[in-house]
Structure formats: structure tokens, C-alpha cells
Amino acid sequence: MRNNPVNLGDPTGLAPGDPYASALDAAVDWQNHYNPTSIKQNKEYLGAVYKKDDRYYSTEGVRRSSTGGSANFTLAKGAIPTADLHTHGAYSRTDHRGLEVRTDKIDDDADSDNFSPNDRRDSQDRNRPMMIGTPSGNYKIYNPQSGNTSVVKPYVPKITPPAQSPSSAGCAKEKNKDC
């Protein structure tokens, strides 16, 4: 985790799963981690944001198989899923042999900077927002209630650590070894 990488098991502070005050911050953190890899590998990654104990977290990303499909994530007891996440890889097209090859935005067959009809349907079926990472580097959010899409520019979200109990906070402040 970014606030204390040595003691909390995330030396770089870049891996998903850190606690955030909002679902948007957790989703952007996930996209910051997986979208560059997705573009480089031209593979889609799937994930989710969930709420537990008044904080938002993201799951690890799962690479989508070549046959497509979705992933089911096992969440901790008491966790509530709040958003779905995935990436769209690089701009690509199908060549004369039927193989998917990299291309530029103009020749992109999949309209990779936008939600597919399946993306929208999945979001509506689950009644949860969906965020995609696009080859352009922007993130987009689809709201199933309104049907609207918004663009989110990448940013570095601030981690919101769980609140300390008054007794442990006092111990840390006083450096009391008897706590």
C-alpha cells in the first residue's frame, strides 16, 4: 500500500487491493495497474470493485480467455460488489487469415475506445456500473441506470487506510510498549 509500503506488503504501492474512500478511486487504481499491461499484451483483463467496512477495494485482474466470457470473483465475507472492471487491450483488427493483429485507431475493428453492446448488457444485467480501460489510455464508465458514459482521465488515487482504534492510535502516538 502506498502509505506504508514496507509494512503493508505492497513495496511499490501499485498493486490493486488498497483501501479507498470511493469506488471510483479503487477502479482507477485497478485500471492504472492493468490497462498498460492489457495494451502491451493486447489482452483483456477483468476485475471488480467491492465495498467492505466503509472502504472500497479492487480484485486482482484476471486475463480473459481467447474465447471470451466473464469471471466470477470470490469476495471476502461481508463484501458487496459495486462495479465491474475490464480493459480492451490494444487497437486491433482481423487480418485476411482471421487472426487478430495490432493496428491504429482508424483501422480498429472492435471500436476499442468504447463499450461494446455486450459490455452494456452485462452492466445492465448486474445493475452495476462498469469501467473500461481503453487503448487511448482513458477510462470510461457506463452507468446502467442512466445509460450514460463518462470519460475519466487517469490519476493517482489517495489510499484511505482503515481507521485506527483509539487505544492503538494512543499506543502509536505515545510509543507505549505495554499496548
Asked if the structure places residue 12 within a domain, the reply is no
- Inside any domain, residue 33: yes
Q: Could you give the CA distance from residue 16 to residue 19 in angstroms, rounded to a whole number?
A: 9
Prediction pTM value: 0.80
Of 162, 165, 152, 157, the C-alpha closest to 33 is 157
Q: Is residue 124 part of a domain?
A: yes
Q: With cut-offs at 50, 70 and 90, classify the pLDDT of residue 17.
A: confident
Amino acid at 118: N
Average pLDDT over residues 137-156: 96
Rounded to a whole number of angstroms, the distance between the first and last alpha carbons of the chain is 25
Q: What is the tally of structural domains in the chain?
A: 1
Q: Tell me the average pLDDT across 90-94.
A: 95
Q: Cα dihedral sign for 103, 109, 114, 119?
A: negative
Rounded CA separation 71/5 (Å): 29
pLDDT tier for residue 13 given thresholds of 50, 70 and 90: low
pLDDT tens, position by position, 34-61: 999 999 999 999 999 999 999 999 999 9
Sign, CA torsion 144/145/148/150: negative
Asked if residues 25 and 157 have their Cβ atoms less than 8 Å apart, the reply is: yes
Q: What local confidence, expressed as pLDDT, does residue 164 receive?
A: 55
Asked, for residue 179, whether it belongs to a domain, the answer is: no
In a domain, 10, yes or no: no
In a domain, 16, yes or no: no
Q: Is 7 among the domain residues? A: no
Q: Which three cell numbers stand for residue 161?
A: 487506510
Structural domain boundaries, residue 64? 23-174
Is residue 15 situated within a structural domain? Answer: no
**Kind of pairing, strands 62-63 and 45-52?**
antiparallel
Select from 63, 57, 135, 123 the least CA-distant residue to 92: 135
